[in-house]
Amino acid sequence: MKNLLIVLFSLALMVSCKQNQENVSDTNIALNIRTSKDLDLDASKGAINTAYSPHVKLKSLNIGDCQWTDGFWADKFKVAEEVMVPYMGEVLKGDVGHSLNNFKIAAGLKEGEHKGMNWHDGDFYKWMEAATYVYAINKDEKILEELDQHIEIIGKSQQENGYLQTQTQLKNIDPFSERKYHEMYNSGHLYIAACIYYRVTGKTNFLDIAIKHADNLYSIFQPQPKELSRFGFNQVQIMGLVELYRTTKDKKYLDLAEIFINMRGKSKVEPHATVRHQHIGDMTQERTPLRESDEAVGHAVLALYYYAGAADVYAETGEKALIDALDKIWGNIVDKKMFVTGACGQKHDGGSSNRDFVHEAFTIDYEMHNAHAYNETCANLCNAMFNYRMLGVKGESKHADIMELVLYNSALSGISLKGDSYFYTNPLRRTAGHKMGITDYPDRTPYIPCFCCPPNLVRTIVKSSAWAYSLAENGLAVNLYGGNKLDTKMADGSSIKLRQETNYPWDGDIKITIDACKKDAFDFMLRIPDWASTYVLKVNGKSVNSNSKPGTFAVINRKWKEGDVISLNLPMSVKLLEGNPLIEEVRNQAAIKRGPVVYCLESPDLPKDTSILDAYLPVDSKLTPTYKSDILGGVTTISGNIKLRKQPKEGMYRELKSLKWENYNAQFVPYFAWSNRGEAEMSVWLPLILN
């Protein structure tokens, strides 16, 4: 009888949900469809547009105001422009990725069936966003012509009431009937890509699709029907709605974003007609309301998109309870759940601190595996996105430190140096024959059926210059170092132009030349990374007495003029890092780091048929950095003596006999560049030995 009642209850909920969708759909068709012409659009052009956000201390640059000119990030942008974005476009437009085919079929322009994951629409929007950033720099009209053609197809795919989701439309699935279809994820990436396209091009064709779509979403969720109370899940729509609010100035989009935050943790943690039974509780951040949370829980990508969206909402509302919770969550991630590479997502499957089942997730504090670390590329990127937003609202350089850590390590490890193959997971150790699951590959692959990470990574690379600087109340903050030029307007509308010259991250010498600025005094804020033991700061060759400690901004206030030169030297010594003793996986082991770059030992740099598990690092080993232009595209490697163990390894357990050791001068390479010389073993952490 009990089971029968449960079945009847579930059927009743499903019927109620379907009736609600039918009623809403009928209502929406009768609505007056709005376009951009009906709204007062904001002309600001930030990648994350905080130009008028009242609770942001460090505000966004316009897209294109900063451009990489030479060095590390200029090289990465060039690869993205010439290989990453075009190659990915061909994959997603063709019969492998099938994304564009899905839109063509939904538009009635092609026969066929939906292919790809439930979130495949969003992956295509992310690629379009990436292509738009490239256009913002190179002004190649062919990019714009192609994107306009895609936008026309997407517009024809959209239903009259604004709903747009190819897999539900093509499979005749009721809208919002099950959150596994990732409608919120796809919605959010649609809104973001459309806003970026408008900001870069001034065209409203994509934005009109997003407005029509968001108006439909508002009409459905603003009344907060009970049967949809659990419909958050992969919550990119929160960030997307805030960007749409910033673009259109229509506050209802901000209100809806806050509704989605308020919905989480409001309902009982139990199976529901719109929810798969294993995706409840901490898995989807719904056991505890966000404002009462003090730890990062559940699916790492879902969580970090959620936290980033909440930071966006705080930037507009200033609600203290939101930022207090985000501060606690940030501390829990950085101090207890983040890997040395800035990666997040400790395990493929595990349990939360509340013992809920979690997947691809944050688990319990200090559970930091090496070979089994999941570290989905998307989660790592979302960590950088979250920290960029926290940098804005808090104005504290520690958030830029995490951005930098991710960008140089656990982000770039997700893509090959050539830019045409990818990792989905980013473990800290890989041994021969090891495989975690269907998304774990022994080498990077040119296409991953779950294709969310590659376009996420590529869009981050091509917009990274927009993160390099921020606008302070009366000045400029330098967040990221790299060869670039900046031509922008400060908060008071005055112009500033400068050039940055450096071979960072291989060299710690940074030179910034001011080419134009206002006559009045203003602040120049230079981030002193938390890894820097010391630093030397000069203006026009004269030392500047700064009491700023590593992990803060050094602030210089003065009247600047054309030709002024700021020089910053960050000594880049090689450091051995140890983990918190509560991290069982790295007890009595060390990782190597130089500046922002984490290093690893890879099997191509070991004798033939030597396992990475045979390598031990002497505590007193002399580690020497050397820049080598002929390896891995040009990187600084680190060489030093290691010990190789010579002993049979058969059997689960064996008697510890006299060990035989062999000295070997090993080469360590940047973690992000591993697996670019063929399939390989690799380890970031090495066991320590006394001699």
How many domains are there within the chain? 3
Same domain, 463 and 473: no
Same domain, 155 and 281: yes
Same domain, 505 and 553: yes
Share of the chain above pLDDT 70, in %: 92
pLDDT over 70 (residue 485): yes
Instruction: Determine the average pLDDT of the residues in 565-575.
Output: 97
Which residues are within 8 A (CB) of 554 and not within 5 positions of it... i.e. 6 or more apart?
Answer: 525, 526, 527, 528, 535, 537, 544, 546, 548
pLDDT at 545: 84
Final residue belonging to a domain, choices 467, 498, 532? 467
CATH number, domain of 7, equals 1.50.10.10
Mean confidence (pLDDT) of the chain: 92
Which residues are within 8 A (CB) of 629 and not within 5 positions of it... i.e. 6 or more apart?
Answer: none
Find out whether the peptide bond into 505 is cis, omega within 30 degrees of 0: yes
As a dihedral over the C-alpha atoms of residue 642, residue 646, residue 652, residue 658, rounded to 10 degrees, the angle is: -100
End-to-end CA distance of the chain: 70
Same domain, 668 and 657: yes
Same domain, 475 and 454: no
Question: What pLDDT band is residue 436 in, cutting at 50, 70 and 90?
Answer: low
Model confidence pLDDT, tens digit, residues 2-54: 344 333 334 443 444 444 444 444 333 335 789 999 999 999 999 999 999 99
d(CA 303, CA 190): 20
Model confidence pLDDT, tens digit, residues 190-226: 999 999 999 999 999 999 999 999 999 999 999 999 8
Same domain, 548 and 615: no
Which residues constitute the domain of residue 617?
574-689
pLDDT over 60 (residue 85): yes
Chain CA centroid to CA 504, Å: 22
Same domain, 406 and 476: no
Same domain, 422 and 513: no
pLDDT over 80 (residue 274): no
The DSSP code for 682 is E
pLDDT over 70 (residue 272): no
Are the C-beta atoms of residues 413 and 429 closer than 8 Å to each other?
Answer: no
Which of these ranges, 14-18, 30-34, 170-174, 257-261, has the smallest mean pLDDT? Answer: 14-18
Angle between helix 183-201 and helix 141-157 axes, rounded to 10 deg: 140
Supply the pTM of this predicted model: 0.94
CATH number, domain of 496, equals 2.60.420
Same domain, 291 and 440: yes
Same domain, 563 and 583: no
d(CA 87, CA 171): 29
- What is the Cα gyration radius of the chain? 25
pLDDT at 440: 65
Final residue belonging to a domain, choices 569, 590, 621? 569
Final residue belonging to a domain, choices 523, 545, 569? 569
The DSSP code for 237 is H
Same domain, 208 and 107: yes
Same domain, 453 and 385: yes
Instruction: Determine the average pLDDT of the residues in 650-669.
Output: 85
pLDDT at 11: 41
